[in-house]
């Protein structure tokens, strides 16, 4: 299995999750092993406010989005580096604010990242496999072991 491929299990709520490192691209402040739930229904990656505060990331701009159940929500756009499998960093992911403080993870990985991955969910075995960026179509991918 390559460093781009890994298996995982489901958390107590049945969500597939990974442990990733979150890095402020400017100051390099880092949170190690943040819980990231994989959400195939989320268009974008979302991060909790306490994580944004902990690594001291400032918004690049503000947006307002229409949420199906919560109506119009304002959010900053925060650029964060996400390190997967302790070796591959995806720089400057434009994350949005995760507005649910009680959500059982630090961030949600959405389709902005998943569209470059092979993700296989096995509900019977309660496991999943994740092949991170099986092609070289992701710009600026940084492999930290090279």
- Domain CATH code at residue 19: 2.40.70.10
* Residue 50 neighbours by CB under 8 Å, 6+ apart: 101, 106
In a domain, 108, yes or no: yes
Has residue 145 got a pLDDT over 60?
no
In a domain, 145, yes or no: no
Look at the chain and report how many structural domains it folds into.
1
pLDDT tens-place string over residues 106-122: 999 999 999 888 889 88
Task: State which of 9-23, 58-72, 115-129 shows the largest mean pLDDT.
Answer: 9-23
CB contact set of 19 (below 8 Å; sequence gap of 6+): 33, 34, 35, 36
Query: Considering the domain boundaries, does residue 146 fall inside one?
Result: no
Q: Which of 26, 25, 15, 21 is closest to 87 using CA atoms?
A: 21
Kindly provide the b/e burial profile for residues 6-35, where b requires at least 16 CB atoms within 10 angstroms of the residue's own CB.
eeeebeeeebbbbebbbbbeeeeeebeebe
Whole-number Å distance between alpha carbons of 123 and 89? 29
Give pLDDT, residue 88.
Answer: 86
pLDDT of residue 139: 53
> Is 17 contained in some domain?
yes
Is residue 58 classed exposed, middle or buried when 0-12, 13-18 and 19+ CB atoms within 10 A define those classes?
Answer: exposed
- Per-residue pLDDT, averaged over 11-17, amounts to 91
Q: Kindly list the distances between the CA atom of residue 57 and the CA atoms of 12, 77, 83, in Å, as whole numbers in the listed order.
A: 30, 10, 16
Q: Name the residue range of residue 75's domain.
A: 5-131
Q: Is residue 61 scored above 90 in pLDDT?
A: no
How much is the pLDDT for 81? Answer: 95
In the prediction, which pLDDT does 144 show? 56
Q: Does the residue 143 lie in any domain?
A: no
On the question of pLDDT at 146 being above 70, the answer is no
Q: Is residue 139 part of a domain?
A: no
Split at pLDDT 50, 70, 90, the class of 45 is very high
Alpha helices in the chain (DSSP H): 49-54, 111-114
137 lies in some domain: no
Q: Is residue 141 part of a domain?
A: no
């Amino acid at each position: 299995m390559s460093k781009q491929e890994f298996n995982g299990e489901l958390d107590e709520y049945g969500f597939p999750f990974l442990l990733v490192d979150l890095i402020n691209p400017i100051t390099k402040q880092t949170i190690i092993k943040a819980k990231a739930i994989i959400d195939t229904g989320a268009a974008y990656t979302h991060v909790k406010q306490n994580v944004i505060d902990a690594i001291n990331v400032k918004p690049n701009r503000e947006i307002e989005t229409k949420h199906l159940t919560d109506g119009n929500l304002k959010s900053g756009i925060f650029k964060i580096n996400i390190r997967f499998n302790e070796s591959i960093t995806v720089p400057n992911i434009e994350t949005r604010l995760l507005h649910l403080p009680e959500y059982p993870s630090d961030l949600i990985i959405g389709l902005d990242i998943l569209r470059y991955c092979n993700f296989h969910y096995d509900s019977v075995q309660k496991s999943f496999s994740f092949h991170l960026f099986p092609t070289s179509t992701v710009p600026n991918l940084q492999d930290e072991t090279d």
